[in-house]
């Protein structure tokens, strides 16, 4: 069973490395934090990010980056992986 979970995790990591990045940096009022949207496959619980989103955020923006999810639009079930990090 653990081998299967490890295989799935390895596959997700490979997908992350090969995914196309769609990123937009939005500086906040103090310009100390930025927000980026990442094009990775996520399974979110409301605004709580999954492990895939956390790993990708921290890989790209460092260990202090915070991952969260947002809905793509009203009425759409799809969600997007978002990262908040120091600019």
Tens of pLDDT, residue by residue over 30-50, are 558 999 999 888 888 888 888
pLDDT at 76: 73
More confident call, 8 vs 67: 67
**Which domain covers residue 16, as residue numbers?**
2-86
Q: Residue 68's pLDDT band (boundaries 50, 70, 90)?
A: very high
Number of domains in the chain: 1
More confident call, 24 vs 82: 82
pLDDT at 11: 43
Backbone angles phi, psi at 9, to 5 degrees: -65, -40
pLDDT at 73: 76
**Is residue 39 left, alpha or beta, with left meaning phi > 0 and alpha meaning psi from -120 to 50?**
beta
Residue in 31, 32, 21 with CA at minimum distance from that of residue 60: 21
| 24, burial (CB in 10 Å: exposed 0-12, middle 13-18, buried 19+) | exposed
Backbone angles phi, psi at 13, to 5 degrees: -65, -40
């Amino acid at each position: 069973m653990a081998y299967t979970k490890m295989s799935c995790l390895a596959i997700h990591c490979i997908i992350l490395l090969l995914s196309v990045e769609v990123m937009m940096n939005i500086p906040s009022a103090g310009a100390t934090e930025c927000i980026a949207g990442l094009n990775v496959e996520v399974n979110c619980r409301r605004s709580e990010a999954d492990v895939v989103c956390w790993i990708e955020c921290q890989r790209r923006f460092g260990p202090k980056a915070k991952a969260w999810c947002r809905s793509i639009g009203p009425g759409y079930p799809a969600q997007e992986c978002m990262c908040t990090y120091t600019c």
